[in-house]
Structures are given as structure tokens and as C-alpha cells.
Amino acid sequence: MPPESTVPAVAVAGLHKSYGAVPALQGVSFTVPRGGVFAYLGPNGAGKTTTINVLCGLLRPDSGRVAVCGLEVSREPVKVKARIGVVPDESNLYPELSCRRNLDYLGELYGLPRRVRRARGAELLELFALADRAEKPFRALSRGLKRRLVLAAALVHSPEVLFLDEPTIGLDVPSARALRQLIRRINREGTTVFLTTHNLAEAEDLADRVCILIQGRVVEVGAPMEIRSRVDRGTYLKLGLSGEVTARELLSSCPAVKQAQRQNGFWRLEVEALHEALAQALAFAQARQLLVNEVGVERPTLEEAFLAILQKDQSAEVSPR
Amino acid sequence: MSQFARALAIGRKDVESYYAKPPLITWALLFPAVLMLAIYVKDPDEYLAVAPGIIAMTLLFGCTSMAAIVVTFEKRSGTLRRLLLTPVTPGTIILGKAGSAAAYGLSTSLLLTLGLGLVLGMPLANPPAFAVGLLLGAAAFSLLGVLASVLVREVFEAMTLMNFFRFPTLFLSGVFMPLDAFPSWLMPLAMLSPLTYAVELLRLGVSGSCYFTSPWVPALALLAYILGGWWLAISAFRRRAGQ
């Protein structure tokens, strides 16, 4: 048996699930290494929630193998549930119970002894800045505070893997930011995070590995940078110079620059090899005794990459085969 | 921690959330107490014939009042999903939900029994039979309540389903009229009702005699309802939980 640390947090192979005649997942396979943040992305109806439900033991797959922390979910659902925490897309704690009692009750269901769960509850209320609202009923909290308590509730038993389904949905900017900081902190402390979100900037910000699912099929898996680099859109160098030059001068002095465009007082250069183009542009400025007052690199964002992948998939579907 | 301890936790939480509420407690106690008082005032000699039936009715309503809606209600509010994400089995959830309903039904019917004993001097000729009747009745009724809750999608459907069961059952189970006085064509229906067996065990407990020649008959009939209710509730729950 492999040591615990080498067993992937989640391993999915050939997962199929249909609702009647409608296929939801068609041979989904991916692996989530331990300790990272894995973003599971896809448009509405792609099968993200179905996957999470299968991983959490709420739904039986038609076929395929699903293991969490090395345990087969269909064979040992109770053991799997004891090792995972889940933050669903809805804030579904007990509205009539206080924040403290909600955490205490869930601690009881995870089998924590009274003293441990009391201490853990107090620690989480403190960590999530809810200590002063500990005795307030869950229903009396604002949306942002409810999301915080739901996240705290998912951590009450210190899970090895945390599933987050749209964790910041419906939150204002400061609340979403605070929640992202908490997610980072939880991950730093060793919990593997499995995240689904429609917020691509959030996925790019948090995740070290991304999986893109379209119509129940995995179309891309890799680090966000890898996925961005697979998109055909070029890399752009933004350059601000203290004096006037022409596009022709720039293009002739910098062979690594494919195109040069003037935009809002800056040059926007489409480049082939970034390092080479940057060195050539700086040498060009030095030769002309111009000051470089702005340098920036524009790469396709994860959102642009996602849209490009989506478009490619749709056009492949409509074109005759 | 065992699954049984988790079931106790679920039951305790449900008592706190649903049952320990003044309106529910006063309704469950006042209605049978006033009914009993009305019967006593009309004819003080006859109240003992009806008392076991009223206690059994209190048990039935107590055990099914919230049990019949609790799973549907939690499904609608999303808290059932939260429960399903914790390391508990379907059996644990059913046991917790039915256990809290049974505890509530037992508390209200025991309080009524105590009141009848203290105020009207109701005797207990066979306390073990009375206790067995209360315990088996509570288990059977609460499981039937949870089963109703699991079978439907909406809270109002659960209430409708339970009312279609509870009210005809009151008529069919010898609550207000002894089984001896039933017309023969009604007897098969009376024998299908679990309330009949609870009423007769309580009658044996109060007066020392009942319709059945042996107390084993109503006790085993209730046991069959418990096993059937348990199996049906778990099967339905497994099927519905993933939807």
C-alpha cells in the first residue's frame, strides 16, 4: 500500500453518469494531488455539481472509479465523508440554531468528543471573526457571514480535502476577498482544496491546477499558466517611452516584435519570444537615449483561455465531421 | 463514535429545533386533556373505557406531528443535504428522526397519563403492558410518520398523507368504541390499523383486559409494523436522498 502522502487526494477514472437518457458525465478522468488548490471549471450544465455529488458520496455513478484519500467512494462512503469537508453553493446550516450550536452539532456528527468540539468551535469562530456573534442564530447573519460560518462548519473536523462549490457566489467584493484569504490560509495549513467557481479570476488567483469540463467531458487539465499558454492568442508587451518613435523603427530594431500599435500613449507590441523582445526593446530605448517609463506584459487570462476553449469546442461540434 | 451516538445527536437536535416549542407542547396536551375532561363530565363512569384510546391517540399525534414533515422540510431548506454530507448512514438518520418523534409522543402521552391518574384517579392494572404499548406504539407511529415524510416532496403533501391515515384510523381502531362493538365488516380494517394494537395494549394496562386473548398478539403486530416501517423508510430514503 502506498504511503498516505503519495496517495492522491482525489482520483477519478472513466466516470460516467446519466440522468435518464441525458448524459451528465462522459468518461471523466482527473487526479488531484495532495496539498494544492484544484479548480474544476465549466459552463452551466457541464457536470460540475454532478461530479462533486459523486465525489462526496451523495450520488452513485453509472460506471467509473472514484477514490478520495485512497478510499473508494462507492464502497466506503461513510469513511470518505469523515475525511472531507464540503461547502455547498447554498448556505444550508440550521437557521434556528446559533453559530456555536451549529458547529457543535456538526462536530458531534463527525464523532468529535465534547471537549474537542467545544474547543474547535471556539477556535473556528475566532478564526472566522464570528466570536462576537457566536450565540446569534444562523438565520440572523448577513449573507457574507453565513458563507463564513458554512466554511467554518466544513472545517470542524479538520478535513483532508475541502470541496468548495461556488464559495463566493453572491458575496460583495470585501466579503469575497476575505473568504479567499481564508481559503488560502486553510490550504497553507495542509488541506487540499477542490474548488468549483464561475469566477475565473478567482480560480486563477487561488488554483495551482485547473480542470475544464464541457458537456460532461474533460477538455483541459493543467496549471493555469499551461492552459493559458495553449490558447492561440499572442503575448503583448506594453511599453512606455519618453520620446516619439515610429512603428517602423521599432519593428526594424526589434525582430522579436511581430506588430506594434500605439494605444493611449503606450506601445502595444505583439511579441513572439517575450524575453528576446523585451531585451531588444530596452536596447532600442537605450540606443535612442529614451527613458522607459512603463513596461508590462499582457498574457491571455484564464478567462480568455476558458472562452477560447469553449468556442473551439462549440465550433468543433457544429462543423461537419 | 458509533452510529447510534450520532443518531442520538440528530434526535437531540430535532427535539431542540422542532419539539421543544411551547405551541406544539400545549396543543399536543391541551387537545386530549380537554377531550378527556368533556367525556368525564358527560359520564364519569365511562371515561375509563375511552382513556386508553385517548392516550393512544395522543401518542399517535405526538409521534407523527413533526415526524411527517421533518425530512421534507429539511430537504426543502437544504439542511438534509448538509446532514447527508456528514459520516452518517441512512439508518442513523431515520433512527434519529424517528427517535426524537417517539420521545416527543411518549412525553406527551405520559404527561396525559400522569394527569389522568392524579386528577381523575385512573388506575394502572397492568403497568408492564401499558409500558410495552406506549413504547411499541411510539416506535411504530414515529416510523410511519418518517416514512410519510420520506415518500413525498412537499410539506403539504406529507400533512395530507398523514391526515388521510390518522383520522380514519381514529375511527377504525377502537379509540372511541370498543372492538367488540364493531360490525363484522369493519373488523378487517380495524386489524390493519397499528393504532388498534396500541389501544388494546394500553387498555390491558389500564383495565387489565383487552380484546385480544393474549397480549402477544398486539405486541407482535406492532413489532411487525416497526420492522416494516423501518425497512420501508430506509428503502425510500436511500432512493429519495440522491434526488
> Any idea which residue has 443535504 for its cell?
B81
Closest-CA residue of chain A to B93: A109
Q: What's the mean per-residue pLDDT of chain A?
A: 89
Residue B237: strand, helix, or coil: helix
Lay out the sheet containing A292-298: strands in order across: A257-263, A266-271, A235-241, A292-298
pLDDT of B81 over the 70 cut: yes
User: Could you give the CA distance from residue B243 to residue B238 in angstroms, rounded to a whole number?
Assistant: 10
Q: What is the mean pLDDT of residues B69-89?
A: 90
Quote the DSSP letter at residue A289. T
Residues in chain A closer than 8 A to B82 (CB atoms) = 88, 92-94, 106, 153
Residue A133 grid cell: 456573534
Q: Which CATH class is domain A4-223?
A: alpha beta
What ipTM score was computed for the predicted complex, to two decimals?
0.88
Contact B77 A92 (CB under 8 A): yes
pLDDT digits (tens, 9 = 90+) for A38-88: 999 988 888 999 999 999 999 999 999 999 999 999 999 999 999 999 998
pLDDT bucket at B31, cuts 50 / 70 / 90: confident
Residue A317 pLDDT: 62
Residue B75 pLDDT: 86
List residues of B whose CB lies inside 8 A of any A CB. Answer: 1, 5-6, 9-10, 13, 16-17, 77-79, 81-89, 241-242
> Any idea which residue has 410495552 for its cell?
B132
Among the residue ranges A10-19, A295-304, B76-85, B109-118, the one predicted with the least confidence is A295-304
In chain A, % of residues over pLDDT 90: 57
Give A228-234 contacts, CB < 8 A, sequence gap 24+. Answer: A228/A299, A228/A300, A228/A301, A228/A302, A228/A304, A228/A305, A229/A299, A230/A305, A231/A300, A231/A304, A231/A305, A231/A308, A231/A309, A232/A308, A233/A300, A233/A304, A233/A308, A234/A258, A234/A270, A234/A271, A234/A272
Q: What is the mean pLDDT of residues B189-205?
A: 95
In chain B, % of residues over pLDDT 70: 98
Query: Which one of A88, A97, A109 has the shortest CB-CB distance to B86?
Result: A109
Short-list B154, B139, B149, CA closest to B68: B149
Query: Which one of B83, B89, B241 has the shortest CB-CB distance to A78?
Result: B89
List residues of A whose CB lies inside 8 A of any B CB. Answer: 53, 56, 58-60, 78-79, 81-82, 86, 88, 90, 92-97, 101, 105-106, 108-113, 153
Residue A84 pLDDT: 96
Domain range annotation of chain A: 4-223, 234-299
Residues in chain B closer than 8 A to A112 (CB atoms) = 1
Q: Which residues contact B45 (CB under 8 A, 6 or more apart)?
A: none
Cα separation values, A273 from A191, A299, A300, Å:
38, 12, 15
pLDDT of B148 over the 80 cut: yes
Contact A109 B84 (CB under 8 A): no
To the nearest whole Å, the CA of B148 is away from the closest chain A CA by 22
Do the Cβ atoms of B82 and A109 come closer than 8 Å?
Answer: no
In chain B, % of residues over pLDDT 90: 60
Residue A316 pLDDT: 65
Residue A227 pLDDT: 83
Q: What is the DSSP string of A180-231?
A: HHHHHHHHHTT-EEEEE-S-HHHHHHH-SEEEEEETTEEEEEE-HHHHHHTS
pLDDT bucket at A320, cuts 50 / 70 / 90: very low
Contact B6 A97 (CB under 8 A): no
To the nearest whole Å, the CA of B26 is away from the closest chain A CA by 20
pLDDT digits (tens, 9 = 90+) for A221-277: 998 888 887 776 677 888 999 988 999 999 999 999 988 988 888 898 888 888 898
| Domain A234-299, CATH homologous superfamily name and number | YebC, transcriptional regulation domain (3.30.70.980)
pLDDT of B28 over the 90 cut: no
Residue A56 pLDDT: 93
Residue A132 pLDDT: 94
Chains A & B: contacts with CB separation below 8 Å: 64
Closest-CA residue of chain B to A156: B86
pLDDT bucket at B177, cuts 50 / 70 / 90: confident
Closest-CA residue of chain A to B18: A96
pLDDT digits (tens, 9 = 90+) for B155-169: 888 888 888 888 888
Do the Cβ atoms of A162 and A186 come closer than 8 Å?
Answer: yes
Contact A109 B81 (CB under 8 A): no
To the nearest whole Å, the CA of B18 is away from the closest chain A CA by 10
Residue A321 pLDDT: 38
